[in-house]
Amino acid sequence: MRFYVTALLTMFFLSSCLKQSIPDAMLGIKDHGKVTATLSYKINGNAVNISVADADNQGATNYTLGCSKNPGYYSLSGISNAGETSFLFYTDSLAVGNYKYSGTYGDMFFIDYFNTAEYVHAPSDSLSFTITSYSNGHISGSFSGALTPLVTASTINNIFGDPGSVLITDGSFKNVPVFY
């Protein structure tokens, strides 16, 4: 009996010295599965970067960078000191592939950049998101587009600026968690 107690206490003390838990070490998981999510792009040449360490540990309804499932669509959004970025994937089943929204479908908000809202508005406007990877509940990919700024919001008719005058280039997102 003394042997079993000694063996049990030895295992307990040795395991407490590990930098990882025994299950994580056995599965080869490092950093306890913490994932850093990023979203970056240039808006008319000005860089916007969003990075969230331990992105899976955000609230499913209140997050800095994530993608949430809603009835009929998924909403990818990010918040930075420059403003808000948002894109709607109109699908019931998010998958690897290209999702494109053009101005012929109607107005769609995409970015609030330093208090100026940018829309897919004019027929020549478009926004294209490509999901290149969707695994373990995270999406990665790229995006680009041409948008129109909202000059004045009105209850009757909004006033928009020059069509296609806002260029989104070098857009990328990596390890963005999908919340269900």
pLDDT tens for each residue of 98-147: 999 999 988 999 999 999 999 999 999 999 999 999 999 999 999 999 99
Ranges under pLDDT 70 in the chain: 1-32
What string of DSSP letters covers 138-161? Answer: EEEEEEEEEEEEEEE--SS--EE-
pLDDT of residue 100: 96
| Per-residue pLDDT at 86 | 96
Q: What is the pLDDT of residue 1?
A: 59
Residue 118, phi then psi, degrees to nearest 5: -115, 135
- In a 13 Å sphere around the CA of 70, the CA atoms on its Cβ side amount to 13
pTM of the model: 0.80
Which amino acid, 135?
A: S
Domain boundaries, the chain: 1-30, 34-179
Per the CB < 8 A criterion, the answer to whether 74 and 177 are in contact is no
The DSSP code for 123 is: T
pLDDT at 61: 84
Contacts of 14-20 with CB under 8 Å at 24 or more apart are: none
